[in-house]
Amino acid sequence: MIADYVMIGGFLGAGKTTAVLALAKSLAAKGRRVGLITNDQSVGLVDTALAAAGGFPVEEITGGCFCCRFTSLTEAADRLQERSRPDVFIAEPVGSCTDLRASVSYPLRRLYGASYRVAPLSVLVDPIRALRIFGLEQGRAFSPRVQYVYEKQLEEADLIVVNKIDLIDEGRLDRLRRELMARLPDAEVLAISARKGTGVADWFERIFATELGLVASPDVDYDVYADGEARLGWVNATLHVTSDGMTDGNELLMALATAIQRPLAAGDVEIAHCKMTLTAEGLGGDMAALNLVGSDAVPELSHRLADPLTAGELLLNLRAEASPDRLQAVVEEGIVEAARATGVRFRTVHTEAFSPPRPKPTYRMATA
């Protein structure tokens, strides 16, 4: 049987996980069996928790990206195959990775073409981030090396999917669309709201109506790419939370996010994405999830805990343009402040702060 392999890329916080889950739901409703693959440089993934909460079989690849661990990708697909025999795999690459066409899509097509039909490469765009990066609007952006990675991600897309259109008016969307079409004349530009469902049916149809475009991959200067990626610091933490009385877990996530955001915004550090989940112990796996997609953005709860809790597990994944040490210190101080504000106790189960290492793809096939 040939399964579909769908990869949904895009920069950190663009809405990949939200879109992956929306696509998975829509396919499951049509009777298709879906398997999800998440990816990160480290363990303790918010995205895996969200995918599992969505009720889908999920395999995670930790400790490196798909491109650098190509074999792990096919092994993850094999494990999903054993568990639930998916006929569609949906993979979310790390949001700071690029060159996926050459290092994942083409190798998959060439080496495993008998097992997978590789869908066109979709790259999601957060319109507010993009308007700033392209200089069309004022606001905090990233340094040029990080923007290099951002631009390379767009350059390799078959489908550029402007997401979150519920946040912008027609005029801003038009301006962005024109800019994208001028910069990337060969790509198809779509506009959706993964959250509200606007435009997603058309996009999903495009994913299955066509195949991966067989164009040459963009040239990528790996020195610049590696430097751009390394300027982003990452913190992944798994924390055990307890309180003597009942605590509102939603407020706890808000308190922690605010305590992390404040010093970073004041220190002129741009947050790419700060995300957290809090899973309550003994409440049937009920979970809250919080996302913050910029230093001047507003932290948002995408899932809320229905009931207060006395114990739970908190996963925190922070990516921002600053050194890992600085981010780690901000997280530690944030934990102290959130504990003081809410009266809970935190115990660190696992924590890791680092910058992504230089990407070294297993394969690099510039053409199909």
Ligand X SMILES: Nc1nc2c(ncn2[C@@H]2O[C@H](COP(=O)(O)OP(=O)(O)OP(=O)(O)O)[C@@H](O)[C@H]2O)c(=O)[nH]1
Q: Which residues contribute to the site for ligand X (CB under 6 A)? A: 10, 12-18, 47, 95, 163-164, 166-167, 193-195, 273, 275, 291, 293, 300, 302
Nearer to ligand X, 115 or 198 (CB): 198
Beta bridge partners of 292: 274
Which long-range CB contacts under 8 A does 296-303 form with residues at least 24 apart?
Answer: 296/139, 296/140, 296/265, 297/128, 297/271, 299/253, 299/254, 299/257, 299/258, 299/261, 299/274, 301/250, 301/253, 301/254, 302/18, 303/50, 303/53, 303/277
Partner from ligand X, Mg ion, none binding residue 239, C-beta < 5-8 Å depending on class: none
Nearer to ligand X, 264 or 368 (CB): 264
| Smallest gap from residue 185 Cβ to ligand X (A) | 25
- Amino acid letter, residue 53: A
Nearer to ligand X, 12 or 339 (CB): 12
Closest CA relative to residue 292, chosen from 10, 12, 41, 37: 12
Partner from Mg ion, ligand X, none binding residue 273, C-beta < 5-8 Å depending on class: ligand X
Q: CA 227 → CA 60, 230, 231, distances in Å?
A: 26, 5, 6
Nearer to ligand X, 231 or 273 (CB): 273
Q: Which stretches of the chain bind Mg ion, using CB under 5 A?
A: 16-17, 47
CA distance 105 to 99: 9
| Smallest gap from residue 23 Cβ to ligand X (A) | 12
Nearer to ligand X, 13 or 57 (CB): 13
Partner from Mg ion, ligand X, none binding residue 98, C-beta < 5-8 Å depending on class: none
| Smallest gap from residue 17 Cβ to Mg ion (A) | 3
| Smallest gap from residue 193 Cβ to ligand X (A) | 4
Nearer to ligand X, 96 or 247 (CB): 96
CA distance 15 to 345: 31
Partner from Mg ion, ligand X, none binding residue 44, C-beta < 5-8 Å depending on class: none
CA distance 71 to 75: 6
| Smallest gap from residue 343 Cβ to ligand X (A) | 27
Residue 101 in tokens: 């066409």
- Amino acid letter, residue 40: D
Q: Which residue is nearest to Mg ion (CB)?
A: 17
